[in-house]
Amino acid sequence: MPSCQRCGNKYMRYIPRIAGYRCDQCGATDTEDIDSATIAYDKALIKAEEHIVVGNWSQAINSIRYLCDQRPVDPRAYQVLLKAYTQNYTIMPKDCNQKEAAACWDKLLRLNNINRELLLYRKKQERILRNEAGEKAFSCVCYSVLFFIMLAITPVAYELSLAEGIIFTVVDFIIICMLIEKEPVKALKRHRYFQKTRLNNPFEYRD
């Protein structure tokens, strides 16, 4: 990054629109220090953003993935990539996309560049999981109530023998445990993970 010729300020910011640097302090511009690689890089970023605008998620991902290798310490490519993986911050990516999104988040964390949109996205995901955990906890209570009702009524209603009654109780209990373990416990664990710290990688959690 060049320093300002006019006032000597060290921090000139790159402005893609003018394909050059602008001084934060005095507003002087410098377009001579830009090499063609930088211009190509910025064009690729802009193109990926355009793909995102019209919802071409996979094209956006493919057109930007290689940029991360070109400039490993530039946070912009990771940010745009996450925007594509989350389909403009609306979904939780699945499978290998989720793995790659987790890697992007890690890198941004190392670069200290988790932006506001990502924090909002994480917050939204946490809210979804909290609601889900609440609903599942409710269904968990329903299952348990059902279990006790069945337990109390069935042996009497169908006049089961002692052995049949025991078998029925055990089977009933196992089914209830399976239902509870399957959904509510998983939902609670997922939400707990999100609660740990604000910057905890939202894409890292596996059931």
Neighbours of 138 (CB within 10 A): 11
d(CA 134, CA 140) in angstroms, rounded, equals 10
Work out whether 171 is an interface residue with Zn ion (CB under 5 A): no
Chain centroid offset of residue 39 CA: 30
Kindly state the smallest distance separating residue 79's Cβ from Zn ion, in Å: 27
Among 2, 6, 120, 173, binds Zn ion (CB under 5 A): 6
User: Minimum distance between the CB of residue 10 and Zn ion, rounded to whole angstroms?
Assistant: 10
- Stated as kind and residue range, the H or E segment containing 130 is helix 116-157
The answer to whether residue 4 forms part of the interface with Zn ion (CB under 5 A) is: yes
Q: Is 10 in the site for Zn ion (CB under 5 A)?
A: no
Stretch that binds Zn ion, among 7-15, 37-45, 47-55, 104-112 (CB under 5 A): 7-15
Q: Which is nearer to Zn ion, 4 or 48 (CB)?
A: 4
The site that binds Zn ion (CB under 5 A) totals a number of residues, namely 8
DSSP codes joined into one string, 39-89: HHHHHHHHHHHHHHHTT-HHHHHHHHHHHHHH-TT-HHHHHHHHHHHTTTT
Given candidates 20, 23, 84, 205, which one binds Zn ion under the rule CB under 5 A? 23
Q: CB burial class (10 A; 0-12, 13-18, 19+) of residue 27?
A: exposed
Stretch near Zn ion under the rule CB under 5 A, chosen from 1-9, 45-53, 68-76, 142-150: 1-9
Considering only the stretches 26-34, 50-58, 110-118, 197-205, report the one whose residues sit in contact with Zn ion under the rule CB under 5 A.
26-34
- Candidates 18-26, 97-105, 106-114, 181-189 — which segment interacts with Zn ion by CB under 5 A? 18-26
Name the one residue in this structure whose structure tokens are 């509510």.
184
| Binding flag, residue 7, Zn ion (CB under 5 A) | yes
DSSP state of 151: H
Residue 28 binding Zn ion, by CB under 5 A: yes
In this structure, what token pair is assigned to residue 11? 């921090």
- Report if residue 9 touches Zn ion, rule: CB under 5 A: yes
Q: Which of 15, 18, 25, 123 binds Zn ion (CB under 5 A)?
A: 25
> How far is CA 201 from each of CA 43, 97, 108, 193, rounded to the nearest angstrom?
29, 14, 10, 9
Which residues of the chain form contacts with Zn ion (CB under 5 A)?
4, 6-7, 9, 23, 25-26, 28
